Structure 1
């Protein structure tokens, strides 16, 4: 954990952002694996580096769907507009259409203890046994993982992944996860701005740009900033106004933070000297 995180930080506070982080790591893993598979092969002991990277590629591609799952759970918990989740679901469908066998290839690879015996608990092996095939025959029909450089495919038994489709599909899905998370940030930003303006207005502090003495940013950077319009606030009245602003914001369950001086305790003083302060939920 980063030393910059507060002691009470938890990934459970913002799972939608964790999904973005993991998706970006996975997309980078896919890019690296494909680059190495398309490069020169080398031996790692008895093993081909391309075959090793093929295994990494398969797991990374499948884990992207886990990032989608986490993002969808977070969207539901936050009661986001259903259209946001639907757009992400459509991106997932395109990903799965580009790589239709990814689940089976990953399952055969990571559940080899079952697939090697024809005892896969779900999916094609279970269906084959139900149809009357002996486990030994099922194991043979769904075995043999490998990367074919000539065809540029990864296979597990009858299932195939076209390597050329891996990075474009991963990139699009990663971008869709980010877009969903950005929608969360944009809604949060709009809420914080509304609460800030309401708190200042209730305290009789004008904050209508461009003439108001206090400026509240539009939130285009998904952050809300409060600052003084120094051209309209006489120096003699800045200390009193800053104290009123800080009190009004705190009364709304928000806080002002300094990006330039994060250790500063007196936010009113930072306003007086002309710094733009970020507004955050407590």
Structure 2
């Protein structure tokens, strides 16, 4: 049986996927909080549920920008096409246009220990050049949600709640598109590697005489199978061994999507099952 040890996996290996996962979590948080803010208010002790949700909303929106930052860093490290990064930049800018004050509102909310004293950074730092900290604190204080105008404010800064979910959804879609571009490139590289290994082993794998078919699926996985009509029964076992050996020589393996831990991949190829081509897990240190 083949299996990967739990510690083979690390988020550091796939930061672009982590960015997408986090973006989806925070987008869902935005949807949940906006829905509750637009519903009946509920008293939670001394507090309004809408005011509680307003705080959560601000943090969720700002975290989406953190997801964009991680995605951009991952794309840059991977050397992705600049057009992919540019599209992500454009989506981030559209998000900021829809919610222009999100940074200041979040900063005032999460750095209340400084803003309450007029000692915050950004706009408070600039205001301290012409006013004392006490006056600065008063000017930039008073966080809250106004259901009449459907806005969240922190001092002079305002966020339109109605724009939150559309902006969050659009940004998530852009992160998804960037992540899929990475997956598609990785898949294409994997297919090229597999085809080259088979070709060097003198195994026909390109039309019209491909005894072995190597194809890229819509699921961004590489599939390998035998063209049984072109491989006589008596030669299938030997061919399966040659295929396995050729792929193993370049750090690739075959896996059954039906039984991922099965080690009888050669028999499965001979029986006509389509298997996926995967890279061997990197050694742990």
TM-score range, shorter chain: over 0.9
Residues 1:192 and 2:190 are matched in the alignment: yes
In structure 1, list runs of 5 or more residues that go unmatched: none
Distance in structure 1 (CA, Å) of the matches to 2:145 and 2:218: 46
Deviation larger for 230-239 or 45-54 = 230-239
Report the TM-score, using the length of structure 1 for normalisation.
Answer: 0.95
- 1:1-282 to 2 correspondences below 5 Å: 6-120=6-120, 122-130=121-129, 132-209=130-207, 211-282=209-280
Higher relative contact order (CA 8 A, sep 6+): 2
The range that moved more, 75-84 or 155-164, is 75-84
User: Residue 278 of structure 1 aligns to a residue in which SS?
Assistant: strand
The TM-score with structure 2 as length reference comes to 0.94
Summarize the Cα distance change of 1:115–1:66 in structure 2 as closer, same or farther, 3 Å threshold: same
* 1:7 partner SS: helix
Report the CA distance between 1:187 and its aligned residue.
0.5
Q: Deviations over 1:145-195 (max 9, x none)?
A: 000001000000000000000000000001101111111001000100111
1:189, 1:219 within 8 Å by CA — same for their partners in 2?
no
Q: How many residues align?
A: 277
Query: What SS does structure 1 have at the residue aligned with 2:229?
Result: coil
User: Matches of 1:36 and 1:218 in 2, distance apart?
Assistant: 43
Give CA deviations for 1:211-237 in whole Å, capped at 9, x if unaligned.
421111134321101011122222221
Shift of 1:90: 0.7
Preserved CA contact (<8 Å) 1:141 1:157: yes
Partner of 2:283: none
4+ residue runs of structure 1 moved beyond 6 angstroms? Answer: none
Deviation at 1:78?
A: 0.6
1:205/1:214 contact within 8 Å kept: yes
CA contact (8 A) 1:193 1:219 kept: no
The Cα of 1:210 is off from its aligned counterpart by 5.7
d(CA) in 1 for partners of 2:79 and 2:191?
Answer: 19
